């Protein structure tokens, strides 16, 4: 008589591993993704070569959150500075949101943000109310002098659909493992 215990044990173990693989594929397809940081635009918060964990579940975004965006078929890591319905500009290295000065504690002391007015980012034709349109965001890098971001006409404001997720954790290098601020 043939003993089926080994075969059933094999399929039971195989089934567990197969289920684990399927769950991992689903998690990394629909929930989170690893995003390498390229370039120095987010220095010192994130450095070139860092790898971050990005939540794809976020559908609403707040000022100062770090997000990944797709612009011109390239993926970027940037910080949300302006929200829908806001008028944003910089004067003398101070961020103004709806004409109220705002301190950016995450910026290094050496960072200088060149002056710009909202109309430099979004023309009256594209933003007739003079504010960021609904479901659009103004994003900047933390290293303002080396960042391609919303100030660049080829980049501009980003739509909610262009935001692929919110950065939630630094996972590499191991000595910088931890939360992102």
| pLDDT of 2 above 90 | no
- Domain range for 152 is 32-176
Q: Are residues 26 and 96 in the same domain?
A: no
Residues 61 and 13 both lie in one domain: no
26 and 36 together in one domain: no
Same domain, 107 and 75: yes
Q: What is the DSSP string of the chain?
A: ----HHHHHHHHHHHHHHHHHHHHHHHHHHTEEEEE--SSTTTTTS-TT-EEEEES---S--TT-EEEEEETTEEEEEEEEE-TT--EEEETTEEEETTEEE--TTS-TT-----B-HHHHS-TTT-TTSSPPTTEEEEE-SSGGG--STTSTTT-SEEGGGEEEEEEEEEESGGG-B---
pLDDT category of residue 1 using cuts at 50, 70 and 90: low
Whether 118 is covered by a domain: the verdict is yes
Tokens of 40: 């120095």
Clarify whether 41 is annotated catalytic.
yes
Instruction: Quick: pLDDT tens for 9-43.
Output: 888 888 888 999 999 888 888 888 999 999 999 98
Residue 94 lies in a domain: yes
Q: How many folded domains does the chain comprise? A: 2
**What's the pLDDT score for residue 4?**
79
Both 9 and 48 in one domain: the answer is: no
What CA–CA distance (Å, rounded) separates 141 from 114? 13
Residue 112 has pLDDT above 90, yes or no: no
Specify whether 147 is catalytic: no
- Give me the CATH number covering residue 157: 2.10.109.10
Q: Is residue 77 part of a domain?
A: yes
Domain identity same for 55 and 139: yes
Q: Is residue 181 part of a domain?
A: no
From 41, 147, 166, 170, active-site residue: 41
Rounded-to-integer distance, Cα 48 and Cα 36, Å: 8
Task: Give this prediction's pTM.
Answer: 0.83
Determine which one of 47, 55, 60, 78 is catalytic.
78
52 and 4 in a common domain: no
């Amino acid at each position: 008589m043939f003993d089926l215990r080994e075969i059933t044990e094999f399929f039971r173990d195989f089934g567990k591993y197969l289920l684990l693989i399927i769950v991992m594929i689903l998690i990394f397809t629909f929930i989170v993704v690893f995003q390498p940081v390229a370039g120095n635009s987010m220095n010192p918060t994130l450095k070139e070569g860092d790898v971050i964990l990005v939540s794809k579940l976020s559908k609403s975004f707040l000022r100062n959150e770090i997000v990944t965006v797709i612009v011109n078929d390239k993926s970027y890591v940037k910080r949300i500075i302006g929200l829908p319905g806001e008028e944003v500009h910089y004067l003398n290295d101070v961020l103004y949101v709806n004409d109220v000065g705002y301190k950016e504690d995450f910026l290094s002391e050496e960072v200088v943000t060149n002056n710009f007015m909202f109309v430099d980012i979004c023309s009256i034709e594209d933003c007739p109310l003079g504010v960021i349109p609904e479901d659009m965001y103004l994003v900047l890098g933390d290293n303002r002098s080396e960042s391609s971001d919303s100030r660049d006409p080829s980049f501009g404001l980003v739509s909610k659909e262009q935001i692929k997720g919110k950065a939630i954790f630094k996972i590499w290098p191991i000595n910088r493992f931890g939360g992102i601020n």
